[in-house]
């Protein structure tokens, strides 16, 4: 099946440069999308190099098969299956992991995916339409309290309770089954909003994050990725909103700190345990030129960390 919805890869050169590619290395693109980063990684790899690309979206996996590169292995799984999938492939350790988080342009621009209020379509929102329940299905049974919590925590929506009550009232007359229905409900409830922002923007973001368990999946893969990185291997993460970036920033910061020792314990500085990660440079944002060419890149922020030679606690961790 051809893919008519294009995607412009964000921070393409910067992200692949941050991986510090070794020609014979093994790398993971945890979010294949339409393969922008993967293509550039493959171009930097030699014949003995290997790239393992994950994606939850079956259409992304199908697009990846068109590359027909023997060095590329495609994995149709969410982040939570990261370690299991690598084990199945016989891969104990990798030289770098790249994550380009969030939703892709093809997912937003395809009305059938139900992720955008720009089209009136079935309210689906799943990154993998073959698994789990859709946003419309979730709305049939979620309580007002559950909806309020999701809108507040995942959408940072200050009108969360009012919107949840409005959805509850609307579904008494039938399911809220389309993006158009939901957008109308929110627009009638939210009377004020930031200039240029649709009233339903935060609601749609919150439901998408909830349905796909995006923040939970991110929290799962970060420690898994660190356990699989070789010494000197890079962890590169591009986030697109504050909730994602907060998780990434805190994780890298906390794992770049040496473990705390009991107060008063006589330990020489040279003998102090190392943290598992070292931060690499400052956070990277798209250039003005990239934002002009691709406005969707404007909120992107990339953070980079490198695996130290410190041992990780836990019997199942891979050690450099």
Binding residues for S-adenosyl-L-methionine: 35-37, 55, 79, 100, 107
Residue 183 sits at φ, ψ, to 5 deg, of: -60, -40
Instruction: Work out whether the CA dihedral 213, 95, 296, 72 comes out positive or negative.
Output: negative
CA-CA distance, 272 to 270, in Å (whole number)?
6
Whole-Å CA distances, 54 to 57, 181, 319 = 9, 33, 23
Cβ neighbours of residue 305 closer than 8 Å, sequence gap 6 or more: 234, 235, 252, 255, 256, 277, 278, 279, 280
Whole-Å CA distances, 62 to 15, 56, 57, 69, 155 = 24, 11, 9, 14, 31
Cβ neighbours of residue 173 closer than 8 Å, sequence gap 6 or more: none
CA-CA distance, 109 to 289, in Å (whole number)?
23
Contact 301, 282 (CB under 8 A): no
Binding positions are 35-37, 55, 79, 100, 107
3-state helix, strand, coil in the chain (%, to 5): 45, 15, 45
- Extended beta strands in 108-163, E state: none
The strand pair at 277-279 and 301-307 is best described as antiparallel
């Amino acid at each position: 099946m051809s893919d008519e919805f294009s995607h412009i890869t964000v921070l393409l050169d910067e992200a692949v440069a941050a991986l510090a590619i070794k020609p014979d290395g093994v790398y993971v693109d945890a979010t294949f999308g339409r393969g922008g980063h993967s293509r550039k990684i493959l171009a930097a790899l030699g014949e003995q190099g290997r790239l393992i690309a994950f994606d939850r979206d079956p259409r992304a996996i199908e697009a990846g098969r068109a590359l027909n590169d023997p060095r590329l292995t495609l994995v149709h799984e969410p982040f939570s299956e990261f370690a299991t999938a690598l084990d199945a492939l016989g891969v104990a350790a990798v030289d770098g992991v790249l994550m380009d988080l969030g939703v892709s342009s093809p997912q937003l621009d395809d009305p059938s995916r139900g992720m955008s209020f720009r089209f009136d379509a079935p309210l689906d929102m799943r990154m993998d339409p073959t698994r789990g329940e859709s946003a419309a299905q979730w709305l049939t049974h979620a309580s007002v309290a559950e909806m309020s919590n999701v809108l507040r925590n995942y959408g940072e929506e200050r009108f969360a309770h009012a919107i949840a009550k409005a959805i509850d009232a609307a579904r008494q007359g039938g399911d809220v089954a389309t993006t158009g229905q939901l957008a109308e409900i929110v627009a009638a409830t939210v009377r004020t909003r930031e200039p240029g922002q649709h009233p339903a923007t935060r609601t749609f973001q919150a439901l998408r994050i909830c349905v796909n368990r995006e923040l939970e999946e991110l929290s799962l893969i970060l420690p898994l990725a660190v356990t699989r990185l070789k010494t000197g291997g890079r962890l590169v993460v591009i986030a697109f909103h504050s909730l994602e970036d907060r998780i990434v920033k805190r994780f890298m910061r906390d794992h770049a700190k040496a473990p705390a020792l009991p107060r008063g314990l006589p330990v020489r500085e040279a003998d102090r345990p190392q943290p598992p990660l070292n931060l690499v440079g400052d956070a990277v944002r798209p250039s003005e030129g990239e934002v002009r060419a691709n406005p969707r890149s404007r909120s992107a922020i990339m953070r980079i960390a490198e695996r130290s030679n410190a041992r990780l606690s836990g019997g199942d961790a891979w050690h450099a």
